[in-house]
Amino acid sequence: MPSRTIRASAVELVVADMRASVAFYRRLGVDFASDTDDHEEAELAPGLRLMLDTEASLASFAPGWVRPTGSARASLAFEVGTPAEVDALHAELVAAGAHSELEPWDAFWGQRYASLTDPDGNGIDIHAPLDAARATSDPEG
């Protein structure tokens, strides 16, 4: 096998409603520079972009593409600075219409953790480091 260097450069999500998706990710803190109807990109970290493409855009060059059904198979995780920020961001996103899969809780692995879905059902996790002495394995606290 040839030797090569490979690095992740982007995560692409196919979305039904670009405006709703951009609004969701902007609330989350992702900075999209433009407002287009079929493709958006934002840098998440140096060299790593989040790309959004509409179903119609994807179907224009992949005519056999069919919208997947069932549960999300992947999720994006976003770290914030404090446990209080996890709670506040989760509350803000839910108030704006996002579906909460798991209310914020102190996870046994040492993070304040919450799970939601974006407008297309993709999993979104929000977490922050937690004082290990306070972590529990019970999502109910």
pLDDT at 132: 46
User: Which pTM does this prediction carry?
Assistant: 0.78
DSSP 10-61: EEEEEES-HHHHHHHHHHHT-------SSEEEEEEETTEEEEEEEHHHHHHH
Which amino acid type is present at position 88? A
Q: pLDDT by residue (tens digit) across 76-98?
A: 999 999 999 999 999 999 999 99
- Tracing tokens 């179907």 back to the chain, one arrives at 59
Mean pLDDT for the chain overall: 87
In this structure, the dihedral spanned by the alpha carbons of residues 118, 121, 122 and 123, taken in order and rounded to 10 degrees, is 80
What would you report as the CA-atom Rg of the chain, rounded to the nearest whole angstrom?
17
Q: pLDDT by residue (tens digit) across 19-77?
A: 999 999 999 999 998 888 889 999 999 999 999 999 888 888 888 888 888 776 678 99
Q: Which long-range contacts (CB under 8 A, 24 or more apart) does 40-46 make?
A: 41/10, 44/11
Domains of the chain: 7-61 (3.30.720.120), 75-141 (3.10.180.10)
